[in-house]
Homo-oligomer: A and B are copies of this chain.
Amino acid sequence: MESLLGPDHNHPEAVHRLTPVLRIETLVDGVFAIAMTILVLDLVVPQVADPAELVPRLVGMWPRFAIYAVSFVLLGAYWIAHHSQYRFIERADRIMLLLNIVFLMLVALLPFAASLMGEYPDRQVSAVFYGVLVGLIGVVGGLHWWYVTRDRRFIVPDVDLEFVTIVRRRIALTPVLALLAIGLSFVSTYASLAVYILLPSSYLLPNRLDRYFDQAPDGWPSFTANVL
């Protein structure tokens, strides 16, 4: 009886080692799905006395719709990045659990940052708060990748050193882009927003990692390139 959920009498240690990794992924999936979906709670139907005002009021909500879309795609990109890391991870320890909980605590805060930006789209504090949060999520995600790959302690044995290095450099990009957006907020909050739109595309469009994977063995499809 080979089961993930009970003792595997042939390879007990394998099952025990894998279980926490599965559980982390389940919690991560839950928090991401909820954080993404409750973004919609910030879109509140306007109360109008005169029905003719309804359409203009809805149109006037465009910054909220824009923030909704940007935040949803951004969380989606971070979710992909997180799972891509876990494709190479086969064990977890206490520090990783703590890093994951802090990571999720920041992820679950994004609906507040989105709400702030939707309510005050032209206040600099909104763009800065959003940028700091997005940057911190990137930093914690990067710390996680650095921790699991250090001395190759938690990753599957066949991960290549060049891959680890490319991903490390790539992870540094998110906080840099977040800093750029924060800098641009001194000029215009809408310029910051433009950077937040571009940020997930760096995960979702073909890139240098794809070329790397094209030469990689069969079991590494281009998907795996989406590491944070």
Contacts and interface: CB of A to CB of B under 8 A. Distances in A.
Given A39-B108, A43-B112, A8 B14 contact: no
Interface string A1-33: 111111110111111111111110111011111
Range class of the A interface residue count: 35 or more
B38 A37 contact: yes
B13 A120 contact: no
Contacts of A228: none
A16 B220 contact: yes
A76 to B, nearest CB: 4
Contact of A80 (B55, B76, B97): B97
A62 to B, nearest CB: 13
Interface in A90-122: 90-94, 97-98, 101-102, 104-105, 108-109, 111-112, 115-116, 119-120
A87 B3 contact: no
A199 to B, nearest CB: 14
Contacts of A158: 7, 12
Contact of A97 (B27, B87, B204): B204
Given A23-B83, A31-B33, A18 B40 contact: no
B21 A31 contact: no
Contacts of A4: 3-5
